[in-house]
Structure 1
Amino acid sequence: MIALSLDEIAAAVGGSLRLRSTDATSATLVDGTVTTDSREIAPGDVFFAKRGEFDDGHRFAPAAADQGAALLVVEHELDLEVPQIVVEDSVVALGALATDVVARVRAHGDLKIVGVTGSNGKTTTKNLLRAVLEHVGPTVAARASYNNEVGGPITMLALAHDTKFLVAEMGASGVGEIARLVRMARPDIGIVLKVGLAHAGEFGGIEQTVRAKSEMVTDLLPTDVAVLNLDDPRVAPMAGLTEARVVTFGLGSAADVRADDLVVHARGTEFTVHVPGGESARVHFGVLGEHHVMNALAAVAASVELGVALADVVAALEQVTLAERWRMQVMGGRDDVTVINDAYNASPDSMSAAIKTLAQVKAPGTRTIAVLGEMSELGEFSGEEHDRIGLLAVRLGISQLIVVGPGARRLHITAINEGSWDGESAYVETADEAYDLVVASAQPGDTVLVKSSNSAGLRHLGDRLGEWFS
C-alpha cells in the first residue's frame, strides 16, 4: 500500500483511531500489505478483522499483532498494544480505503484501470492482460481469483505511486456487487466476457445475472471504453446501456477485434487476430482450449486500446502456456497419457468447452476419459444442465465417462439413458474411487480430463493423476 498516516487511514475509513500504549502517533506512516488473513501478516502490515459466516477475524488479531502488524482495523477495540482503528463494518472500511488509495494514485500519476467481469474467463483474461501490460509498465493484478468485496479492494490496495496499470477482476454473487467494485476503481476500460449460468442459483436467475454483469459498463464515462463480447447475445446488447465508446470482440466478421483460421491441437490453439485499422497477426497461443481464444481477444482489445502495439501483444500472449493452476493445466506424459486438470471451477459453459476440447485434442486411434464432478450453484437449472453435459459427452464420443459424487449422479444417469453406451459411463462416490478407476483403466495414449466445480474438490484428484502419470 502507498504510505499513509494513521490519521489519513482513519479518515478514509471513517473510523476512530486508538493509539493504545505504543510509540505510534497519528502522523505515523504505514505502508505495509493489507490483508484479512493473519497468516499472511509480516512486520508493518495492516490487518482487517473481518467477520465471516463461520468465524470472526477478531479472534486472529492477537496472532496478527504477534507477527508485527502495524495497524489493526477492528469493529470493537481489542486489548492489544497495537494501533487500532475502530469501524462499524470492516469490509465496508476495506472498500473505503481502497477507494481512497486508487484516487490518490490516479491524482499523482498516469494510472490506467481495466475492469474484467463475466460468468467465465475472468481470471484467464486478467492473467493474459497482466502478461501483456507488465512489459509496458508496473502492473498490479489480482492473485488467484481475488475478485469479490474483499479480494477486489485488497488488489487495489497493492497499488504504488508508480503503478501504470491495474487489472481488476470483478466477480459477484448478486446484483450490486460489481457496481460497488466499479465505484472503488472507476475503470477506464470495462470488459464483459460472457453471461452464462455460473452462479445463477445465487443470482436468482439469468436475468439477474445479466443485470449484475452489466454493472461493469453502465457507469463508464464517454471517455472510457466498454469491451464487449459480440458473440454472446446477453452481452452484446450492453452496448446500449453505456455512454462509453464500445469495442467488440468475437469470432464473427462484425466484431472489431476478431479471430479466424482457428486450429486446435494438444499444444494450444493457433488463430489469426484482426484489429481495427486492418492490422492482423498469427497467434500461436499455448493455453489449451478453443474457448480461451475469446479471453485472448478481450485481452487484445483492451491492450490495443491502451496503446500497446499488436506485435507486442501477440509476443506476450505467446509466452503464456497456462492460464492458472487447475485451469486446463496439462500434466502427465508417462505412456503418452495426458491429464488435463480443469477442476478449479465449472459452469455449463466451461464444462461444455472442456469436453469439446478433450474431443478435439485426442490423437487418432486413442481414447478419451472424462472425470466429471458436480457443477454447483445452478439452482433450478442444475438438473437440466447436468443432463445436457451427459448428452454432450455421449454425442462427442468420449470413450469413458467417470462421474464423481451424488451432486453429479444425474449426469451419469442421463449418459446411460442416451442408450448407446454399455459400461462407458461409471459412477463413483469419491475422488479416491475415481483415482483408482482411472489408474486401473487408463491405456497408453489416453487423454484424461478432470473437471468440476471447486466445491467438488476434484482439482486435487487431477494433481494426483498428473503425478501418477508424470
Structure 2
Amino acid sequence: MLDLTLDDIARTIGGTLVLGDHAVQEGTSEVSVVNGAVDTDSREIVPGGIFVAKPGEFSDGHLYVPAAVANGADLVIVEHVIDDLTVPQIVVANSVEALGMLATEVIRRIRELGVLTVIGITGSNGKTTTKNLLRTILERQGPTIAPRDSFNNEVGAPLTMLKVEPETRFLVAEMGASAPGEITRLVRMARPDIGVVLTVGLAHAGEFGGIEKTLATKTEMVTDLLPTDVAVLNLDDYRVESMADKTRAEVLWFGLDTNAGVRAADLVQTTAGTDFTLTLPTGESQRVHFSVLGEHHVTNALAAAAVAHTVGVPLHAIVAGLESVTRAERWRMEVLPGTQGVTIINDAYNASPDSMLAGLKTLAQISGPGIRRVAILGEMSELGEFSLEEHDRIGRTIVRLGIERVFVVGEGARALHLAATHEGSWDGESAFFDTADEAYALLEGELRSGDVVLVKSSNSAGLRFLGDRLGEHFA
C-alpha cells in the first residue's frame, strides 16, 4: 500500500484517531506513517500491517484485535475503542465501509501517477478462471495485482485493491454481487479502464430474484465506464450483448461468434484440454493448446485475450500465457488422471445451471475407444424458487447428452436423479445417495479403466472432497 499518515487514513475513512486512551487532534500525527498490508483476518497480519475489525455473522473481528497486534499490526480500524491497546486505532461507524473508502483513496492516488491500468471482471460464471488467466498473461508484462481465491465482494475486492503499489502496472479486480448496487459500489471504488462481462445466468438467481435483476446488476459493470474506456463483452451471450447500448465505452466483442473481434475457431476437445485457433481484431491468428478443460473455459480464455490485446500484449505472448495455465483453479475442471485408467474431472467448487450444463457438455464431447462417461452430481445451490425446475432440466439433459452413468448425491439434488430416471428410454442408469461417503463406498468398486468421471456440485454440497478421494484412490 502507499505510504499514508495516520491523519491521512483517519480523514479518508471519516474516523477518530485514538492513541492510548485519548483521541488525537488532526495534524498531530502527520509524521506517523503506515504502509503495511491490510487484512480482516488477524491470522494474515504481518509486521507493519493494518487490521480491520469487521463484525461477522458468526464472530466479531474486534475479538481478534489483540491477536492482530501480536502478529505485528501497526494500526487497527475498529467500530469501538479497544482498551489497553499498544497501537493506534481509528474508530469508525462501519468498518466495511471504511475499508472501501480507504481502497478508493489509495487507487485514486496511485492512478494519478499514470502507470496503473484497472481491469474489472464480472459475470455469473468464469470470473475466477478469467482472472487467473489474465494475471498469468499480464504479470509477464509488468507488476500485476489480482485477488487470491474468489475475493470479489465488498470486503475481498477492496482488500485486493489495497495491495497496489506505486509501481503496479495492472490491477485485475473480480467484482461479484449478491444484490443490486454492489457492482456499482466496487466499480466506483476502482474506476476500471476496462470492464469485462462474461455471462449472465442463473447463478445466485434466488438471491437476485430472477434473471432480469441479474442482468441489471451485471450491467452495472459498464454503465459508469467513460468514452475512453473499453467494455469487453461476450457476443455469445445475448444478455451480455444487450449491454452495448448501456455503455459509453468502446466495445470489444469476444466469443465463438464469427463477428467477434477476439474469437476462437476449430475447437478440438480431449481429456488433455482444448485446441483452438485464436484470432485478434488485427486479423492475426495462432493455434492454442489450452490445457484447461471445457469449451466454457475457452470463452474465459478469449475474455483474457481481449483484455490483454487492449493493453498492447502481442499475440505470441497472449498464447504463451494461456498455454502455461494447466488448470483453471483448485476444484474447477481440475483433471486428476489415474494410473488405473480412470480420469477424474473435479469441478465441484461452484455450480449453476449454466456451469453444470457446460461441464456435462464437455463430458459428453469426450470420446474414444473404451471411454465410459460418468457424472457424479450434487446440488446447485442459491437458486431459490428456480431450484426444482433447474435440477429437473439438468436431469433430463443428462439423458439427451448420452452420458452412460450418473450418480446423484444429496437430498438437494434428488430432483435431478428423478428427472434422469423418468426421461424416456435410457440405456444408462441413475443412482441416488444421501451422502458422499455412501457414494464413495460404491464408486471405488464401480469405476473401471477407461472411465472419464465428472464430479460437479455447488461448494456447499461438498463433492469436491469426494472428487479428491476418488482421485487419490485411482492415482
TM-score by length of 1: 0.98
Aligned equivalent of 1:465: 470
CA contact (8 A) 2:403 2:428 kept: no
1:68 and 2:72 correspond:
yes
CA contact (8 A) 1:174 1:203 kept: yes
Aligned equivalent of 2:425: 420
CA contact (8 A) 1:191 1:227 kept: yes
CA contact (8 A) 1:339 1:450 kept: yes
CA contact (8 A) 1:109 1:161 kept: no
1:28 and 2:32 correspond:
yes
Aligned equivalent of 1:315: 320
Counterpart secondary structure, 1:9: helix
Counterpart secondary structure, 1:327: coil
Aligned equivalent of 2:133: 128
Deviations 1:401-425 (A, max 9, x none): 1111110011001111114347711
Matched to 2:10, the amino acid is A
Aligned equivalent of 2:2: 2
CA contact (8 A) 2:288 2:319 kept: yes
Aligned equivalent of 1:248: 253
Aligned equivalent of 2:25: none
Deviations 1:109-161 (A, max 9, x none): 41001100000000011111101100100000011100000000000000011
CA contact (8 A) 1:195 1:210 kept: yes
CA contact (8 A) 2:117 2:193 kept: yes
Cα shift at 1:256: 1.3
1:198 and 2:203 correspond:
yes
1:335 and 2:346 correspond:
no
Alpha-carbon distance in 1 for matches of 2:51, 2:155: 12
Matched to 1:272, the amino acid is T
Matched to 1:12, the amino acid is T
Aligned equivalent of 1:142: 147
Counterpart secondary structure, 2:129: helix
Aligned equivalent of 1:293: 298
Deviations 1:152-186 (A, max 9, x none): 00000000110000000100001000000000000
Cα shift at 1:207: 0.7
TM-score by length of 2: 0.96
Give the 5 Å matches for 1:61-460.
61-79=65-83, 80-421=85-426, 424-460=429-465
Matched to 1:360, the amino acid is Q
Cα shift at 1:43: 1.7
Matched to 1:443, the amino acid is R
Q: 2:63 aligns with which of 55, 59, 66?
A: 59
Alpha-carbon distance in 1 for matches of 2:264, 2:391: 30
Alpha-carbon distance in 2 for matches of 1:269, 1:94: 41
Question: Any unmatched runs of 5+ in structure 2?
Answer: 23-27
Cα shift at 1:25: 4.6
Alpha-carbon distance in 1 for matches of 2:434, 2:128: 30
CA contact (8 A) 1:199 1:378 kept: yes
Alpha-carbon distance in 2 for matches of 1:298, 1:361: 24
Alpha-carbon distance in 1 for matches of 2:122, 2:427: 42
Cα shift at 1:365: 2.2
Counterpart secondary structure, 1:346: coil
CA contact (8 A) 2:404 2:427 kept: no
Deviations 1:65-121 (A, max 9, x none): 222211110000011222100000000000000001101111124100110000000
Cα shift at 1:364: 2.4
1:43 and 2:66 correspond:
no
Matched to 2:151, the amino acid is Y
Alpha-carbon distance in 2 for matches of 1:295, 1:78: 46
Cα shift at 1:31: 1.6
Alpha-carbon distance in 2 for matches of 1:361, 1:423: 17
Deviates more, 1:151-160 or 1:26-35: 26-35
Alpha-carbon distance in 1 for matches of 2:442, 2:361: 23
CA contact (8 A) 1:332 1:465 kept: no
CA contact (8 A) 1:332 1:468 kept: no
Alpha-carbon distance in 2 for matches of 1:64, 1:194: 39
Counterpart secondary structure, 1:69: coil
Deviations 1:32-58 (A, max 9, x none): 211111111122111111111222111
What is the percentage of aligned positions where both structures have the same residue? 65
Deviates more, 1:458-467 or 1:199-208: 458-467
Provide the aligned length of Structure 1 versus Structure 2.
469
Counterpart secondary structure, 1:436: helix
Alpha-carbon distance in 1 for matches of 2:473, 2:91: 51
CA contact (8 A) 1:49 1:72 kept: yes
Matched to 2:162, the amino acid is L
Deviates more, 1:320-329 or 1:458-467: 458-467
Alpha-carbon distance in 2 for matches of 1:362, 1:48: 51
The runs of 4+ residues in structure 1 deviating greater than 3 Å are none
Cα shift at 1:465: 1.2
Question: Any unmatched runs of 5+ in structure 1?
Answer: none
Alpha-carbon distance in 1 for matches of 2:38, 2:462: 29
Cα shift at 1:433: 1.2
CA-based RMSD of the aligned residues comes to 1.4
CA contact (8 A) 1:404 1:428 kept: yes
Cα shift at 1:344: 0.6
Alpha-carbon distance in 1 for matches of 2:425, 2:43: 53
Alpha-carbon distance in 2 for matches of 1:296, 1:123: 12
